[in-house]
A = this chain, B = another copy of it.
Amino acid sequence: MDHTHDPSRRSWVRSANAPTTDFPIQSLPYGIFRRRGESGARVGVAIGDQILDVTGCQQAGLFEGETEAAGRSCLPIGGPCALNPFMALGRPHWTALRRRLSDLLVDEGGSGADRKRVSRLLVPQVDAKMLLPSAIGDYTDFYASVHHATRVGRLFRPDQPLLPNYKWVPIGYHGRASSVVVSPAPVRRPAGQVRGQGSDAPRVVPTARLDYELEVGCFVGPGNERGTTIDIADAESHIFGLCLLNDWSARDIQQWEYQPLGPFLAKSFATTVSPWVVTLDALEPFRAPACPRPEGDPEPLPYLDSAASRERGGVEITLEVALRTAASRERGEPPVWLTRSQFAMMYWTFPQMLTHHASNGCNLRPGDLLASGTVSGPAETEGGCLLELTRGGAKPIGLPDGQTRTFLEDGDEVIIRGFCERPGFARIGFGECRGEVAAA
């Protein structure tokens, strides 16, 4: 771990030093933003309540030597600005730019002249509209929480909740890239075919079982050529960073359509990502062993196993979901927290998911998005979606104002937050992944 992680490091951007900020100088997550009133998109890093305009830093000549290529990759050349070219460069470039940005923003370092130039490149977050971090070529959603898979399996297949392949295969499916949106895009309640119990003909109706799924997203860095694989020992060099993700789901549509080829319209109406991508470099202090497998479970097959993967394949991220109803918003009340769970508890790690994904020669490309699947803990209260928390709608959740919820109602706003904390290190947050349900 290098000096960029030093918890005593403080920024001359004062809001970055507040103990409650999600974006201290030790994090520096990347995003794409557009300044209010301007049309061009730019690369930025979040620092306190500000954004440092990285594209602007490059244009101002602040990157040289080992950061030159990284700086150039943040220019909008040959298309709208997105993180794909930077993601494609690989870790040495990511690390170099991180150090340079940290040095530009640190209170002790940087000349007065530099600070003056850099301070002109700060944009208040409230004056920026965030865009998708990358042009997502493909989006893949995994199913890596055994607790989620078991509880959801019990509802869909009471006779066989966890299928025999689960503990061998990091199960995943291709998602819809076009409908990945960035927080806080509204989500319209989808309509679709639904068939009631015992009735013959399905009806086309707005979903009555709209759900969220609490997930972590992973942006791919350098890709692999079609026909080649990615060794588990090398998987991390292909991972740029993580974000929060809500894989909105229509459970009644899903129940009727999902066999034999998997979820389709039940998911493809919207997937929300948080705007800031926290790099693996920033998450270094919060790496954790892969979750130990229960006695009797098989060891991962050799292609999914390595010492590094076992010892530090996980990331300790505390995740939370909150709900704000239309009524509580009108009364100015804060959101109600529904769930808390821990990302380090996943059965499969991102390096395993990525290596598995490429194990048949499938080519991953820079900027591709992988998602973890719903992050649920072992306790019933740690379900990462309403389907689990309400046991398929059978057990409504009570809200403080006396309302109840089985599934989401129009006007409900879902807010996902995540953060990393460990003694001796600065707290790092993921910002928010939020979306409000609009009527069908």
Kindly state whether residue A181 has any CB partner on chain B within 8 Å: yes
A163 to B259, CA, bound (A): 7
A78 to B77, CA, bound (A): 9
Name which residue of chain B comes closest to A257, CB basis. Answer: B169
A263 to B298, CA, bound (A): 23
Kindly state whether residue A363 has any CB partner on chain B within 8 Å: yes
Of the candidates B78, B169, B253, the one whose C-beta lies within 8 Å of that of A79 is B78
Distance from A326 Cβ to chain B, minimum over Cβ atoms (Å): 19
Kindly state whether residue A174 has any CB partner on chain B within 8 Å: yes
Kindly state whether residue A424 has any CB partner on chain B within 8 Å: no
Of the candidates B204, B270, B303, B360, the one whose C-beta lies within 8 Å of that of A268 is B360
Of the candidates B79, B191, B365, B438, the one whose C-beta lies within 8 Å of that of A178 is B365
Is B157 a contact partner of A260 (Cβ separation < 8 A)? Answer: yes
Q: Which residues of chain B are within 8 angstroms of A137 by Cβ–Cβ distance?
A: 177-178
Name which residue of chain B comes closest to A260, CB basis. Answer: B163
Is A256 a contact partner of B169 (Cβ separation < 8 A)? Answer: yes
Interface centre among A188, A260, A263, A269 (most CB of B within 10 A): A260
Distance from A215 Cβ to chain B, minimum over Cβ atoms (Å): 14
Is A178 a contact partner of B362 (Cβ separation < 8 A)? Answer: yes
Would you call the interface of chain A mostly helix, strand, loop, or mixed?
Answer: loop
Distance from A229 Cβ to chain B, minimum over Cβ atoms (Å): 8
Within 8 A of B (CB), among A125-170: 137-138, 143, 153, 156-157, 163, 165, 168-169
Kindly state whether residue A264 has any CB partner on chain B within 8 Å: yes
Is A179 a contact partner of B260 (Cβ separation < 8 A)? Answer: no
Kindly state whether residue A202 has any CB partner on chain B within 8 Å: yes
Interface centre among A188, A204, A265 (most CB of B within 10 A): A265
Within 8 A of B (CB), among A165-198: 165, 168-169, 171-179, 181, 188, 190-193, 195
Distance from A290 Cβ to chain B, minimum over Cβ atoms (Å): 19
A226 to B188, CA, bound (A): 9
Kindly state whether residue A70 has any CB partner on chain B within 8 Å: no
Distance from A63 Cβ to chain B, minimum over Cβ atoms (Å): 25
A204 to B261, CA, bound (A): 23
Kindly state whether residue A273 has any CB partner on chain B within 8 Å: no
Interface centre among A177, A258, A264, A362 (most CB of B within 10 A): A264
Kindly state whether residue A1 has any CB partner on chain B within 8 Å: no
Kindly state whether residue A237 has any CB partner on chain B within 8 Å: no
Is B174 a contact partner of A173 (Cβ separation < 8 A)? Answer: yes
A374 to B173, CA, bound (A): 20
A173-B174, A204-B301 known, 12 other contacts, Cβ within 8 Å: A163-B259, A172-B261, A173-B262, A174-B175, A181-B226, A193-B301, A201-B298, A227-B438, A253-B360, A258-B262, A259-B260, A268-B360
A→B interface (CB under 8 Å): 78-79, 137-138, 143, 153, 156-157, 163, 165, 168-169, 171-179, 181, 188, 190-193, 195, 201-202, 204, 226-227, 250, 253, 256-266, 268-270, 298, 301-303, 356-357, 359-365, 368, 438
Can you list 13 residue pairs at the A/B interface with Cβ under 8 Å? A78-B79, A138-B178, A143-B261, A165-B195, A171-B260, A173-B264, A178-B363, A202-B301, A204-B301, A204-B302, A204-B303, A261-B262, A269-B360
